[in-house]
């Protein structure tokens, strides 16, 4: 019985310093004929204020989500790369993985610029023969 009485007391007590109460009171004072009335039921006033606050928060988060979606689209467009650039990066990464030195890597990149089909051929050759393919390419 004591617990239920305590919970009823907490529902009947309203924080008169809360921002939603002050906002409703300010709205009532500033309405000039538009009667934003508060009912005699304080709980209903509190729920109404909470509903208003949640509605505003929902609108705010909706705007944030739209902005984040637009930003994601911009980032996606910016990161889309030319297919040739992708294969160039993969080729250089493969040469690095195969253990070629910096000067060998630069020579191979020079060959790739002159003959772009060599990059595609690098990935067509079985992995076990790729190092030999590049060495022959650099020698020839």
Q: What is the DSSP string of the chain?
A: -HHHHHHHHHHH---TT-HHHHHHHHHHHH-TTS-----S-HHHHHHHHHHHHHHHHHHHHHHHHHHHHHHHHHHHHHH---HHHHHHHHHHHHHHHTT--HHHHHHHHHHHHH-THHHHHHHHS-HHHHHHHHHHHHH-
For the beta carbon of residue 122, count every other beta carbon within 10 angstroms. 20
> Could you tell me the pTM of the whole model?
0.42
What does each of the 140 residues of the chain score in pLDDT, given as a tens digit? 455 445 545 544 555 555 655 565 565 555 554 445 556 788 888 998 999 999 999 999 999 999 999 998 888 887 777 778 888 888 999 999 999 999 999 999 899 889 888 888 888 999 899 999 999 988 87
What's the pLDDT score for residue 29? 56
Average pLDDT, the chain: 79
Buried b (16+ CB within 10 A) or exposed e, 2-21: eeeeeeeeeeeeeeeeeebb
Cβ neighbors of 87 (< 8 A, separation 6 or more) are 119, 120, 123
């Amino acid at each position: 019985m004591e617990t239920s009485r305590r919970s009823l007391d907490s529902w009947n007590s309203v924080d008169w310093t809360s921002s939603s109460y002050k906002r409703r009171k300010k709205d009532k004072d500033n309405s000039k004929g538009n009667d934003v009335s508060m009912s005699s039921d304080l709980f209903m006033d509190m729920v109404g204020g909470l509903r208003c606050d949640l509605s505003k928060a929902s609108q705010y988060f909706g705007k944030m989500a739209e902005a984040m979606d637009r930003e994601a689209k911009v980032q996606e467009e910016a990161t889309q790369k030319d297919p040739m650039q992708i294969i160039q990066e993969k080729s250089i990464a493969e040469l690095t993985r195969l253990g070629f030195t910096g000067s060998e890597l630069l020579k191979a990149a020079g060959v790739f610029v002159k003959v772009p089909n060599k990059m595609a051929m690098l990935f067509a050759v079985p992995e076990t023969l790729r190092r030999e393919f590049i060495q022959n390419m650099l020698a020839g």
